[in-house]
Amino acid sequence: MIAKLFLTLAAALLAALLFTPESFTEVFRPLTHNNAPPIYLQTSLLRLTLSHLALVGIAVTASTLVAVAGGVLVTRPAGREFLPLARTITSVGQTFPPVAVLALAVPAMGFGAGPTLVALFLYGLLPVFENTLTALSTLPPSVLEAARGMGLTRRQRLWQVELPLALPVILAGVRLTAVISLATATIGSTVAAKTLGEVIIAGLLSANPAFVVQGGLITGLLAILIYEAFQRLESWSAHRAGLIRPQ
Amino acid sequence: MIRLDHLSKLYSGRAVVEDVSLTVETGQIAALVGTSGSGKTTLLRMINRLVEPTKGRVWIGDTDAAKIEPHLLRRRIGYAIQGHGLFPHRTVGENIAIVPRLLGWREAEISARIDELMQLFDLDPAVYRDRLPHALSGGQQQRVGVARALAARPELLLMDEPFGALDPVIRAKAQDDLRAIQRQLGTTLVIVTHDMEEAIQLGDRIAVMDKGRLLQFAPPSEILTAPATPFVEALVGAAERPFRLLSLSTVDALREPGEAPGTPINPDTSLREALALCLWEGRAALPVSGGGIVTLAALQARAEGASR
């Protein structure tokens, strides 16, 4: 109940910030010095948010597709030998700082959204890959045995049994990736990608904490709402997979 | 009919199943018994090629199993396992429909088959058809598992410890039901069990396996009275032998004319139960409903396996 109220408030606050930012002028004024503008107006917050979400959406979709495909590949008999390699790649992707990826990608791709997409893509592989791996290698053996014994082909077993049963755990991985990417995407604005990071960076450059708080607040609210949406999706898919008794 | 012809399975040079040949006639039940590691499950899994034989052939009717694509072969053979292996994300009806769907049956035909099987297994389709497996009891799940294995009317049904996870009361009922349904459908059945009691209860013939070899393949009465090796004898259990022998026949077989006091017993009662009743109530004879009696002396004579 309290959680629901909190979420509704978060959604309402986010909507208000995006659609009528001017109404918060007095709220942010105490954070400013020397009559600096309390609200970021160079680009509309709504447009920055949409572009931020689009970047994150594209990157998360790409890392999900690649990581799930990789997880499926290395759990097949023919792909088992690629498991250590795949683990190394995804771990390096996670540990290599996204800032360094940006620095390396800019000379090759130029400024803009490109380098940010690459950084987020690499950064997001690990959670989805590891969860896919865990999910696919811990499926109930009797179900897999029955599926084989009834004459489902390899492909049918994958699509009709393994992936549906693995879905809740894979979605948990996507949730982590989405939330991490949402926060990490802000640094994309250091190389001129249109993200909420632009507001934060503007705040840092002009020593205006009001901008920093605005950018951070919107990003944080988005993260909370997306996290919650994914959790609902996960429990829905777990119910559908017959893995949890409906309440 | 199914015929195993000199089947062997070697894992890195070690034989798990060694040169096993046996034939199960159409409509018969063969029970594969042995301790764990005896190779009985491997033998069963070679029939539907979940394990590929190293040597030897499997004949199902006139068909060489090695000549059919494994997944097509498996769709022709029912398969039920311990812990039932129902798809948790599919309803009871969808689970039963799996093999008919793979075989491309029409939807109306599949739907009728689901209802037919659920009624056969005493599950009301109106109540259970659209439930997920986790909403069923263990006994019900197991019945759905067997119904699913029978869905596409296979000529042959393979079962690997299908009742292993059930408690004794439900287990006995499941065995009776299976026997009745198997007789009704005329399906050939090969069942793996480690429980000699279950093998005697169900099997028309029992195959005793040890260390990958087939020690004896014979009707239950012969396994009991003429065990081929000391191992078979030990597996049968010397202390249990007379009672198991009695459990093979019903009171009807020993009915003789006469009169005895007390409530008549059903002619379908097993001789073992009749003996238990005689001993418990201290009586020399029991009346049988429909006329006649069964005497303690006759039961005793029937239990003397050694004198045969």
Residue B223 and residue B257 share a domain: no
The residues on B that touch A, with CB distances below 8 Å, are: 48, 50, 71-76, 79, 81-90, 98-99, 102, 132-135, 145, 148-149, 158
8 Å CB contact of A147 and B75: no
40-59 in chain A: CB under 8 A from chain B: none
Which residue ranges make up each domain of chain A? 45-240
Residue A174's pLDDT is what? 93
8 Å CB contact of A146 and B134: no
Q: Which of B180, B213, B236 is the last residue of a domain?
A: B236
Q: Tell me the chain B residues in contact with residue A240 when contact means C-beta distances shorter than 8 Å.
A: 89
Better-scored residue on pLDDT, B125 or B260: B125
| Phi then psi dihedrals of residue A145, to 5 deg | -65, -45
Residues forming a β-bridge with B250: B270
- Residues contacting B169, CB < 8 A, separation 6+: none
Quick check: is B71 in a domain?
Answer: yes
ipTM: 0.82
- Residues contacting B142, CB < 8 A, separation 6+: B84, B162, B163, B165, B166, B170, B174
Residue B216 and residue B278 share a domain: no
Quick check: is B56 in a domain?
Answer: yes
Residues forming a β-bridge with B15: B10
Q: Point out the residue among B73, B85, B134 whose CB comes nearest to the CB of A146.
A: B85
How many Cβ contacts (< 8 angstroms) between chains A and B?
Answer: 72
Least CA distance to A151: which residue of chain B? B71
**How many angstroms separate the CA atoms of B302 and B304, rounded?**
6
**How many angstroms separate the CA atoms of A227 and B146, rounded?**
42
Residues forming a β-bridge with B57: B5
Which structural domain, as residue segments, surrounds residue B51?
A: 2-236
Q: What's the gap in Å between the CA of B86 and the closest CA on chain A?
A: 6
Contact A171, A237 (CB under 8 A): yes
Q: Which residue pairs from B123-129 have beta carbons closer than 8 angstroms and sit at least 24 positions apart in sequence? A: B123/B92, B123/B147, B125/B93, B128/B92, B129/B91, B129/B92, B129/B93
Q: Which of B236, B262, B291 is the last residue of a domain?
A: B236
Better-scored residue on pLDDT, B151 or A36: B151
pLDDT at B215 over 60: yes
pLDDT at B307 over 70: no
Length of chain A, please? 247
Q: Tell me the chain B residues in contact with residue A236 when contact means C-beta distances shorter than 8 Å.
A: none
Quick check: is B68 in a domain?
Answer: yes
Residue B296 and residue B169 share a domain: no
8 Å CB contact of B50 and A156: no
User: CA nearest A85: which of A94, A96, A74?
Assistant: A74
Residue B199 and residue B274 share a domain: no
Residue B151 and residue B49 share a domain: yes
Q: Tell me the chain B residues in contact with residue A242 when contact means C-beta distances shorter than 8 Å.
A: 87-90, 132-134
CATH number, domain containing residue B102: 3.40.50.300
Q: CB of A205 within 8 Å of any CB in chain B?
A: no
- pLDDT tier, B77 (very low <50, low <70, confident <90, very high otherwise): very high
Least CA distance to B44: which residue of chain A? A149
- pLDDT tier, B118 (very low <50, low <70, confident <90, very high otherwise): very high
Residue B273 and residue B169 share a domain: no
Residue A110's pLDDT is what? 76
1.20.140.10, 2.10.10.90, 3.10.105.10, 1.10.3720.10: CATH of A45-240: 1.10.3720.10
Better-scored residue on pLDDT, A35 or B208: B208
When divided into structural domains, chain B yields a total of 2
Provide the residue-wise pLDDT of chain A in tens; the chain has 247 residues. Answer: 788 888 888 888 888 888 887 777 777 777 777 777 777 777 788 888 898 899 999 999 999 999 999 999 988 888 888 888 888 888 887 788 878 877 787 777 878 778 888 888 988 888 899 999 999 989 999 999 999 999 999 999 999 999 999 999 999 999 999 998 998 888 887 787 788 888 888 888 888 888 888 888 889 989 989 999 899 898 888 887 776 544 3
CB-count burial class (<10 Å; 0-12, 13-18, 19+) for B64: exposed
Q: How many CB atoms lie within 10 A of CB A46?
A: 14
Quick check: is B28 in a domain?
Answer: yes
Better-scored residue on pLDDT, B13 or B102: B102
In the block, tokens 């360094």 appear at: A100
8 Å CB contact of A142 and B50: no
CATH number, domain containing residue B296: 3.10.580.10
Q: Point out the residue among B79, B83, B84 whose CB comes nearest to the CB of A150.
A: B79
Quick check: is B308 in a domain?
Answer: no
Torsion of CA A120, A122, A126, A129, to 10 degrees: 110
Residue B278 and residue B151 share a domain: no
8 Å CB contact of A145 and B81: yes
**How many angstroms separate the CA atoms of B228 and B217, rounded?**
9
Tell me what the mean pLDDT of segment B222-250 comes to. Answer: 84
Quick check: is B213 in a domain?
Answer: yes
Residue B66 and residue B209 share a domain: yes
**Cα-Cα-Cα-Cα dihedral sign, residues A207, A209, A211, A215:** positive
Residue B203 and residue B61 share a domain: yes
pTM value is 0.82
- pLDDT tier, B305 (very low <50, low <70, confident <90, very high otherwise): low
Q: Point out the residue among B72, B88, B99 whose CB comes nearest to the CB of A241.
A: B88
Residue B66 and residue B191 share a domain: yes
Q: CB of A143 within 8 Å of any CB in chain B?
A: yes
Residue B288 and residue B181 share a domain: no
For A163-214, the DSSP string reads: HHHHHHHHHHHHHHHHHHHHHHGGGGGGGT--STHHHHHHHHHTT-HHHHHH
**How many angstroms separate the CA atoms of A179 and A170, rounded?**
15
Contact B191, B30 (CB under 8 A): yes
Residue B107's pLDDT is what? 92
pLDDT at B306 over 70: no
Residue A247's pLDDT is what? 36
Residue B134 and residue B279 share a domain: no
User: CA nearest A206: which of A42, A24, A14?
Assistant: A42
